[in-house]
Amino acid sequence: MSDPKIEEIKKAKKEWEKVTYANAVSKHGERRDDFVTTSSVPVRPLHTPDDINDSDYMEKLNFPGQFPFTRGVQPTMHRGRLWTMRQFAGFGTAEETNQRYKYLLAHGETGLSVAFDFPTLYGRDSDDPLAEGEFGKCGVGISSLKDMETLFDGIPMKDVSTSMTINGPAPVVWAFYIAAAENQGASRGQITGTIQNDILKEYIAQKSWIFPPEPSMRLIVDTFEFGTKEVPRWNTISISGYHIREAGSTALQELAFTLADGLAYVDAAMERGLDLDQFAPRLSFFFNAHNDLFEEIGKYRAARRIWANEMKKRGAKKDRTMWLRFHTQTAGCSLTAQQPENNIVRTTIQGLASVLGGTQSLHTNSMDEALALPSEKAVKIALRTQQIIAEESGVVNTIDPLAGSYYVEYMTDWMEEGTYKYFDKIEALGGVLKAIDKGFFQQEIANAAFQYQKDIDSGERTIVGVNEYVDENENIDIPILKIDPEGEKIQFDRLRKIRSNRDQVKTDAALEALRKAAEGDENLMPYILDAVKKQATLGETCSALRDIFGEYEEPAVF
């Protein structure tokens, strides 16, 4: 039975649209024919209570810290504890990146986030012939346990939470980290942090894979199992929508595809026999923050609600199992090389969306990242942006301050409904792995990216400083960070010394034991840890697994 008050509002709104609003439009017009979000979702001129009328709406919202966690996973949210300010950084040698980390920590950063170079991302040593010219260019080069020890020299690993953006070779890089921490005197129970470890989004978007999907999924479940037993405070995966969005997806596609990947990991772990309430509390997420403030906030709120409901369906008994905890990074694809100082404003809006959306951790991009690796000045401004939001804006003083906004609640519901429609499509294709094989995700993202760029090129979408408000006489005076070419020599020398000084018989035996274990069904993490402690390099350890698993080749589906 309809609510008489809601029916009255609907009637009044129709009258307002027909008379008051229509008269104003006929006299003065509007700035454009249609208003849309960053993801091209049409935006209505006005939202009222009838947009969110629902007999169980309070159940959909509830209170912060209560199922379905729409309003946040913690009862106090940022009143109790600010998000972790975790700036993504890495370049050149481990020594150079170590100095950047110390600089960031000295200026108020509260967690570390490691960016790796392309050879590391692909499981190759820095001196691999296929890695020529790529050392340290987009992140730090890490090829050995010694590199990891150097990276954290003078930084107490038992006290600092570290996130590592690594996927294909994630178990090996995590083994380096665990061994380095133990060599510092930390126990496995003390170290905290996250490995990204999200291979499905690599097949979908970022493309830095090594092994085929099935053995890759095995390795991920191995890390879940090992982490639950041995490294209980570590997040063994960061299920990432960030790279899906950076590849050109809409906000809805980012949300739906990321959650679909997450559910695929959960289902694979449960098939192994792992207890949902044991491993799921250590799953985390990683989302993008783009320019449309309300679209992004609706995305985050919908994500929590969907995940909580899906975990409950799978038998979760603990609240923490149903929590969707997430890190946010502002949108790299939104940054412009033109008028780069404008990127400070973009990043501020995006950071604000993350905080209002209830993030647990945040990286704000630097203004110069469309040009080069960020300079120290740019990094400090990006960190100060977070600190100003936290300390001066007042948005952290109350929990989920936008709850009840007709538009925000409508957008939250819209995101939820759209995500379940995508779930139905993925299921009809046979699940996430089958959908990847058929190119479904890739084509959806490609279509969205093409439309977005088309709108910019036609002028239908304004990008300040690019297709509007252009400064033809612009003189970009931004200091550019350059990688010291001597760093590559330092890295190559370190690798040569490692190989010449280690006990090669023990190293070879550890790698052979890893190969044999990979042929069976044992958990591979203990074997990987043993190999890296015996001074096996990243490339050697990944090659041992390649010998058994092979390499993935993307099918031609377009």
Q: What is the mean pLDDT of residues 402-415?
A: 95
Contacts of residues 61-68 at CB distance under 8 Å and 24 or more positions apart, as own/partner, are 61/403, 61/409, 64/399, 64/400, 65/319, 67/308, 67/312, 67/319, 67/322, 68/304, 68/305, 68/308, 68/309, 68/322
pLDDT for res 13: 86
pLDDT for res 30: 87
User: What residues have CB less than 8 Å from 80, skipping those under 6 apart?
Assistant: 74
For tokens 């590592």, what's the residue?
Answer: 164
Q: What is the mean pLDDT of the chain?
A: 94
49 and 116: one domain?
A: no
pLDDT for res 151: 97
| 483, part of any domain | no
pLDDT for res 558: 53
pLDDT for res 33: 78
DSSP-assigned letter for residue 205: I
| 499, part of any domain | no
pLDDT band at 402 (very low <50, low <70, confident <90, very high): very high
| 138, part of any domain | yes
Give the integer Cα–Cα distance in Å for 493 and 127.
Answer: 10
pLDDT for res 273: 97
The end-to-end CA distance of the chain, in Å, is 49
98 and 247: one domain?
A: yes
Query: Can you name the residues that pair with 42 across neighbouring β-strands?
Result: 36
pLDDT for res 2: 65
pLDDT band at 491 (very low <50, low <70, confident <90, very high): very high
Residues 94-111 have pLDDT tens digits of 999 999 999 999 999 999
Q: What is the mean pLDDT of residues 67-86?
A: 94
Alpha helices in 231-338 (DSSP H): 242-246, 251-272, 276-279, 293-313, 319-322
| 330, part of any domain | yes
pTM tops 0.85: yes
HSE toward the beta carbon, residue 295, CA cutoff 13 A: 22
pLDDT for res 554: 86
Residues 198-245 have pLDDT tens digits of 999 999 999 999 999 999 999 999 999 999 999 999 999 999 999 999
pLDDT of residue 325 exceeding 80 = yes
Give the integer Cα–Cα distance in Å for 46 and 418.
Answer: 21
pLDDT for res 448: 97
203 or 555, higher pLDDT: 203
Q: What is the mean pLDDT of residues 272-281?
A: 97
33 or 364, higher pLDDT: 364
90 and 36: one domain?
A: no
pLDDT for res 441: 96
User: What residues have CB less than 8 Å from 17, skipping those under 6 apart?
Assistant: 45, 46
pLDDT of residue 38 exceeding 80 = yes
Domain containing residue 102: CATH number = 3.20.20.240
pLDDT band at 157 (very low <50, low <70, confident <90, very high): very high
| 182, part of any domain | yes
| 464, part of any domain | no
| 529, part of any domain | no
pLDDT band at 519 (very low <50, low <70, confident <90, very high): very high
Residues 360-392 have pLDDT tens digits of 999 999 999 999 888 889 999 999 999 999 999
pLDDT for res 557: 60
257 and 362: one domain?
A: yes
| 129, part of any domain | yes
> Domain range for residue 49?
4-57
Give the integer Cα–Cα distance in Å for 251 and 47.
Answer: 20
Structure token pair of residue 373? 């690796």
254 and 134: one domain?
A: yes
Residues in the chain: 558
Count other C-beta atoms under 10 Å from residue 40's C-beta: 15
pLDDT band at 190 (very low <50, low <70, confident <90, very high): very high
- Quote the number of domains for the chain: 2
273 and 353: one domain?
A: yes
Q: What is the mean pLDDT of residues 312-328?
A: 97
225 and 116: one domain?
A: yes
pLDDT band at 542 (very low <50, low <70, confident <90, very high): very high
Residues 110-138 have pLDDT tens digits of 999 999 999 999 999 999 999 999 999 98
428 or 110, higher pLDDT: 428
pLDDT of residue 1 exceeding 60 = no
17 and 109: one domain?
A: no
pLDDT for res 55: 65
Q: What is the mean pLDDT of residues 2-19?
A: 86
For tokens 């993307």, what's the residue?
Answer: 554
Structure token pair of residue 97? 């990146």
Look at the alpha carbons of 45, 416, 360, 344 in this order and tell me if their dihedral is positive or negative. Answer: negative
99 and 47: one domain?
A: no
Q: What is the mean pLDDT of residues 297-314?
A: 98
pLDDT of residue 165 exceeding 90 = yes
pLDDT for res 478: 79
48 and 95: one domain?
A: no
52 and 193: one domain?
A: no
36 and 78: one domain?
A: no
Q: What is the mean pLDDT of residues 147-170?
A: 97
